[in-house]
Structure 1
Amino acid sequence: MRLSRRDLILAAALPALGAAARPAVPPKGFVTVQRGKLALDGKPYRFAGANLWYGAWLGAPADFGDVERLRRELDRLKALGVTNLRVLGAGERSPAKAAVSPTFQEEPGVYRQDLLKGLDVLLAEMARRDMKAVVYVNNFWDWSGGMPAYLNWVGSGPWFQQGDPNHPWPEYPDYAARFYGDAKANALFLRYLRGLIGRVNTVTGEPYRDDPTIMAWQLANEPRPGGTAVFGARNMPVFQQWVRDTSKLIKTLDPGHLVCTGSEGLKGCLESEACVLDAHRPDTIDYVTAHVWPNNWGWIDPKNQPATYEAGEARCRDYVTRHIAIARQLGKPLVIEEFGLIREARAFAPGSATADKDRFYRTIYGLALEDMKAGGPTAGTNFWAWNGEGRAQHPDAWFAAGDKSFVGDPPQEEQGLYGVFDTDASTLAVIAEHAAAVKAL
């Protein structure tokens, strides 16, 4: 059964925060939506961005933290022209083999204060560089715990990890999507969510809800209604209600910041345009999100990338164009907040060939810039993801518990598969060129 309205009312009952209305005049420095476009202090807000899920880990005052590296990475990104970072603000202990460790919530209601402090440090350092953050607060995938971890905690099983050969795709998305209708799992999630949004930054002394560094709260990384047509159709009303209820709660707790879904778009909605429209139609969802993953979706074969690239790129162009049309139909901004392509020969090491990857980046950037110039809804892009000076720590390039050299590729995939290293000169040049073009608009 889905979370009841009574549950949500109880979840929102925080006397310290109340249910304030959205400010008539946005505070200075807050990103807003005006006439279907992102705006900042009365001017159009457009950006070249990146994904840096592990930012809070680097900022943590712990043996796995490295605040000096965090500062170097932010300086590198700023020098490239990157001004917007999508970061992970939650994480749950997962029994999955390929999962982040440590994480924000080691067991239900037991939070790691050093990681929360790491998020404080990250936001404070971003503020010093005039960067904006999109903070996602849950995950459909188990590499950070996410929805399957909550289901496991409340005994809504049997639990199994993504990629388990005994549970072939699409069993995993059908399992993870049970989260939306599980009241006990959502109660644990909402408890963490309320605490996070109500947090006061220990570095700056500023409440999160008053911090203009935060551009948006994001419901989850790539939430999906399910994996199979049968389960997805049955679960669709529950999924859409969860989007409405959770975004409404966030707006109640923090009316000043934007809220978005974190959806991949059509690929995260069983290819249903109606699903995408319904998920982004509520007034409490401020803009549309889209992700573009041609290798993962079988559009460009990672084992035969040169021969399949051309046709795959055409499908990506069509995919982006369709989401621009969806955003225009809704009268809301669009952010292409994840996109990536593997290196040639599926290599992971810094310095390995990136000609196809660079071409793919130019394609996505070109589509975004063209729409920006035409006055369309596209506001920005966030490539996946920034590796910086991080490196794989093992010969097989897989993450292991205790590793401290975090990269943009999460533990569910080889370290270096999609991420951009600080030595990837040609890719860095593509990013910098696009960032300069966006800034010049």
Structure 2
Amino acid sequence: MDENRIKVSSLQSDNSSWNVFGVENEQFESMVEGAENDLSCGSTSSRIYGLQVKDDDDWPMVEKKGNQFLVNGQPFYVNGFNTYWLMVFAADQSTRGKVSEVFQQASSVGLTVCRTWAFNDGQWRALQKSPSVYDEEVFQALDFVVSEAKKYKIRLILTLTNNWEAYGGKSQYVKWGKAAGLNLTSDDEFFSHPTLRSYYKAHVKAVLNRVNTFTNITYKNDPTIFAWELMNEPRCTTDASGNTLQSWIQEMAVYVKSLDAKHLVEIGLEGFYGPSTPDRAQFNPNSYATQVGTDFIRNHQVLGVDFASVHIYADSWISPTISDAHIQFTKSWMEAHIEDAEKYLGMPVVFAEFGVSTKDPGYNSSYRDTLINTVYKTLLNSTKNGGSGAGSLLWQLFPDGTDYMDDGYAIVLSKSPSTSNIISLHSTRVAIFNHLCSWKCRWGCKKRNSLEAFLYHDDL
């Protein structure tokens, strides 16, 4: 996300009554259990309890086959969230408990992947105090985040630096370079100057080779980590041709793979179409998006990149005032990228940030629910056809008592029951895809219609 821009009880606990889009709890449980009994066309050790998936002790690495993610040879569709500040909170004993809280709450509504920062460059509570100089206490905080994620069966996308100034990012690397006597005139020289590239690569090496002090597992061998993200929202506005950023992606993706061939790698792009595909520029939210040095299709054709990332912020890209046009844009933006991931890239695409700010003119919770439902429905339309729409990550999930960190996009589940229900329902649908049918089946079994009655029930 651009820097400018509770414990949640199970919905089946205490015999309380709840309702998800007109489906009462008893009916919902029956639908899920019926689907489970009727459609167990592949062997599985999992049991879906409404909103929960209880896995066995096996914790394999996520892999990629064509345009799908796999775990143990079965589909792995993602329903996840962002909470970027976990490492910094874990570095302070007074706030460390919030890390466990957010994982517990996310798990309670079936979320399975969290994207968070594995960097804090040269700032308050910095992980990297100067090039290749680390604060061991903060590194142990990141160790704690990884170990807690595993405890709650949540996988992590770990981002390695930032395009924006928050938490240091490329501007901090440039400051370090200037302090070392380099003649640098733009923050974008982060992408091109060989010394700054070497600083970044040294950080990548330090993180990937880190041995977790809680689990004794090296990060590059830990299946808790879903993927490495090269950078949060990279842009290189000083080279609109995209060549500078393309060169950086090519070098860094291969470098990460040279250190860690087991984990998946993604770039962290927002998804803007660039000069190599002028016919796709019509899908960009505005004309400026074509000039920021990124190029969705070209960037993702790089060796070493395993899946595509896209962000969705109609309110900051088009207009801060809420309107139906935002929903229309969200749907067309997603469908274009899913199509491109299938047709040109042959890889999964994850919508790694999406949300709407409570500070926007015209905002209400009903609109947020509509936006989230639009994202989820668009993904399900891809999923049922075996398409490239591999999942999404809400921006962003917060536990109670962290309001002072809220940028307007925070979702606190205990304060948002309708949103929590939408997330839970989608998690259950994703869990069914992930656990009730083997990869080879591909939904060709005779029970498919029975399953679809639940998976594609009209929610709105």
Q: TM-score, normalised by structure 2?
A: 0.73
The superposition leaves residues 356-399 of structure 1 with CA deviations (integer Å, 9 ceiling, x where unpaired) of 11111111111111111111011111010112214344xxxxxx
Amino acid at match of 1:433: L
Work out the CA distance in 1 between the residues paired with 2:188 and 2:326: 28
Partner of 2:352: 337
Cα distance in 2, alignment partners of residues 143 and 274 from structure 1? 20
Tell me how far apart the structure 1 counterparts of residues 222 and 184 of structure 2 sit (CA, whole Å). Answer: 40
1:417 corresponds to 2:408: yes
**CA offset digits 1:249-282 (Å, max 9, x no partner):** 1101011000100101116884389921221112
Q: 1:157 to 1:392 in 2, by over 3 A?
A: farther
Partner of residue 206 from structure 1, selected from 217, 224, 229: 217
User: Does the aligned pair in 1 maintain the 2:162–2:231 contact within 8 Å?
Assistant: yes
Equivalent in the alignment of 2:118: 89
Q: 1:287-436 to 2 correspondence within 5 Å?
A: 287-298=307-318, 301-302=319-320, 304-305=321-322, 309-329=323-343, 330-343=345-358, 353-393=364-404, 407=405, 415-422=406-413, 423-436=415-428
Cα deviation code 1:16-39 (max 9, x no counterpart): xxxxxxxxxxx9611111132111
- Within 2, Cα distance between the matches of 1:187 and 1:380? 33
Q: In structure 2, do the counterparts of structure 1 residues 68 and 76 end up closer, same or farther at CA, with 3 Å as the change threshold?
A: same
- Between stretches 265-274 and 254-263, larger displacement belongs to 265-274
SS at match of 1:355: helix
Q: 2:107 aligns with which of 78, 91, 95?
A: 78
How many aligned positions are there?
357
Tell me the amino acid that sits aligned with residue 330 of structure 2.
C
Name the SS for the 1:39 alignment partner. Answer: strand
Cα deviation digits, residues 171-197 of structure 1 (max 9, x gap): xxxx44331101222222211111111
CA distance in 1, matches of 2:183, 2:367: 41
**Take 2:361 and 2:295, find their aligned partners in 1: how far apart are those partners?**
33
- Please tell me the residue identity of whatever aligns with 2:409: Y
* Contact 2:174–2:184 (CA under 8 A) maintained in structure 1: no
SS of corresponding position for 1:184: helix
Q: Deviations over 1:206-237 (max 9, x none)?
A: 111110000111100011232x6xx312xx22
Report 1:150-169 matches (<5 A).
Answer: 150-155=173-178
Structure whose CA Rg is larger: 2
Q: 1:185 to 1:364 in 2, by over 3 A?
A: same
Identify the residue that residue 19 of structure 1 maps to in structure 2: none
Aligned CA distance change for structure 1 residues 426 and 28 (closer, same or farther; 3 Å)? closer
Distance 1:158 1:238, change over 3 A: closer
Cα displacement (A) at 1:416: 4.3
Instruction: Provide the secondary structure at the position in 2 that maps to 1:259.
Output: strand
- 1:265 and 2:242 aligned: no
**For the residues of structure 1 that align with 2:187 and 2:61, how far apart are their CA atoms?**
34
Q: CA deviation at 1:321?
A: 0.9
The superposition leaves residues 36-85 of structure 1 with CA deviations (integer Å, 9 ceiling, x where unpaired) of 2111111011121000111222322x35x533222122111000110100
Asked if 1:217 is matched to 2:228, the reply is yes
CA change 1:416–1:222 in 2 (3 A) is closer
CA contact 2:253–2:303 (8 Å) conserved in 1: no
Question: Corresponding residue for 1:53?
Answer: 84
Contact 1:28 1:41 in 2 (8 A): no
3-state SS of the aligned residue for 1:370?
A: helix
Q: Hey, what does 1:237 align to over in structure 2?
A: 243
Q: Which amino acid aligns with 2:270?
A: E
Which deviates the most, 136-145 or 28-37?
28-37
Q: Distance in 2 between matches of 1:92 and 1:44?
A: 36
Residue in 2 that maps onto 1:38: 69
Match of residue 295 from structure 2: 275
Shifted more, 354-363 versus 194-203: the winner is 354-363
Answer yes or no: is the 8 Å Cα contact 1:344–1:356 preserved in 2.
Answer: no
**Secondary structure at the residue paired with 1:49?**
strand
Distance 2:206 2:247 in 1: 22
The whole-number CA distance in structure 2 between the counterparts of 1:121 and 1:42 is 29
Match of 2:16 in 1: none
Decide whether the 8 Å contact of 2:273 with 2:297 is kept in 1: no
Instruction: Give 3-state SS (helix, strand or coil) of 2:157's partner.
Output: strand
Offset, 1:158: 7.4
Whether the 8 Å CA contact 1:265–1:289 is kept in 2: the answer is yes
SS in 2 for 1:142: coil
- 1:316 corresponds to which letter in structure 2? T
Asked if the contact 1:221–1:263 (Cα under 8 Å) also holds between the matched residues in 2, the reply is: yes
Aligned to 1:171: none
In 1, distance between residues paired with 2:360 and 2:228? 37
Corresponding residue for residue 28 of structure 2: none
Select between 382-391 and 352-361 the one with higher mean Cα deviation: 352-361
Contact preservation (8 Å) 2:273, 2:296: no
> Which one-letter code corresponds to 1:232 in the other structure?
A
Aligned to 1:398: none
2:314 counterpart SS class: coil
Higher relative contact order (CA 8 A, sep 6+): 2
Aligned-residue identity in percent: 24
CA distance in 2, matches of 1:220, 1:420: 24
The CA deviation at 1:238 is 2.0
What secondary structure sits across from 1:361 in the alignment? helix
Q: Which residue of 2 aligns with 1:6?
A: none
SS at 1:215's partner residue? Answer: strand
Matched residue SS, 2:357: coil
Alpha-carbon spacing, 1:240–1:126, altered in 2? closer, same or farther (3 Å): same
Deviation, structure 1 residue 107? 2.7
Whichever residue aligns with residue 325 of structure 2, its letter is: A
Instruction: List runs of 5+ in structure 1 lacking aligned partners.
Output: 1-26, 95-100, 160-174, 394-406, 408-414
Cα distance between partner residues in 1 of 2:184 and 2:408: 31
Q: Is the 8 A contact 1:124 1:203 kept in 2?
A: yes
